[in-house]
Structure 1
Amino acid sequence: MTRKYSALAATLALGLAAIAGSAHADEAKKPMEKCFGVAKAGQNDCAAGAGTTCAGTSKTDYQGNAWKLVDKGTCVTIKTPKGHGTLEAKA
């Protein structure tokens, strides 16, 4: 009886892992774009510009030369206290 439940649990776990994996793969296929000026301090994606070296190195909220990947077409609609996101770095 224990073997039967172990096999059932293993099958269920594999099924859930497959579903989670395919959901993640679908998200990875979404077209994305770099959006400048929308990341909070320390939450930018890589290559933030002068004064930073890579992901998580921006010094201030909504730093103009720090970018974050967002869904394509949404960048300029993201509003922050410093204005909207842009597709090009701000000084």
Structure 2
Amino acid sequence: MSSNHLLVSSALTAVLAMGLGASAHAETGAKEKCFGIAKAGANDCANLSGSHSCAGLATVDKGADEWNYVAKGSCHAKGGRTLDEVKAGARGGK
């Protein structure tokens, strides 16, 4: 009986660990930087202009060089621009 209990416990642990690993992987690949949507004091990290290098230091709402992480593919719906679009705009592309 003890060996059956150990076998079931081990199998359950393995299944749970696989599920947690898959969800962690999905979260890391499912985000993108979205520029122009951050509220003052609520940006996720350094801005593009280099005037600060930390989260929470945005001084205005929706600053063009301030960003927040959002679910990949949802940036435009929030009124923002992706990093590629911001870079293209800096080169005169968009």
Q: TM-score range by the shorter chain?
A: 0.5 to 0.7
Residues 1:63 and 1:12: Cα distance change in structure 2 (over 3 Å): same
- Find the aligned partners of 2:41 and 2:8 in 1 and give their Cα distance: 44
Which aligned segments of 4 or more residues in structure 1 are displaced greater than 4 angstroms?
A: 40-43
Q: Note the aligned Cα RMSD (angstroms).
A: 3.1
Q: Considering fraction of residues, name the structure with more helix.
A: 2
Q: 1:22-44 deviations in whole A, cap 9, x for unaligned?
A: 233234344x5421132345543
Amino-acid identity (%)? 34
CA contact (8 A) 2:44 2:68 kept: yes
- Find the aligned partners of 2:77 and 2:22 in 1 and give their Cα distance: 29
Aligned pairs for 1:8-87 within 5 A:
8-30=8-30, 32-49=31-48, 50-54=50-54, 56-60=55-59, 62-64=61-63, 65-78=65-78, 84-87=79-82
- Find the aligned partners of 1:4 and 1:68 in 2 and give their Cα distance: 49
CA contact (8 A) 2:34 2:67 kept: yes
TM-score (ref. length: structure 1): 0.58
Aligned residues: 82
CA contact (8 A) 1:58 1:66 kept: no
Instruction: List gaps (5 residues or longer) in structure 2.
Output: 88-94
Residues 1:3 and 1:23: Cα distance change in structure 2 (over 3 Å): same
CA contact (8 A) 1:76 1:85 kept: yes
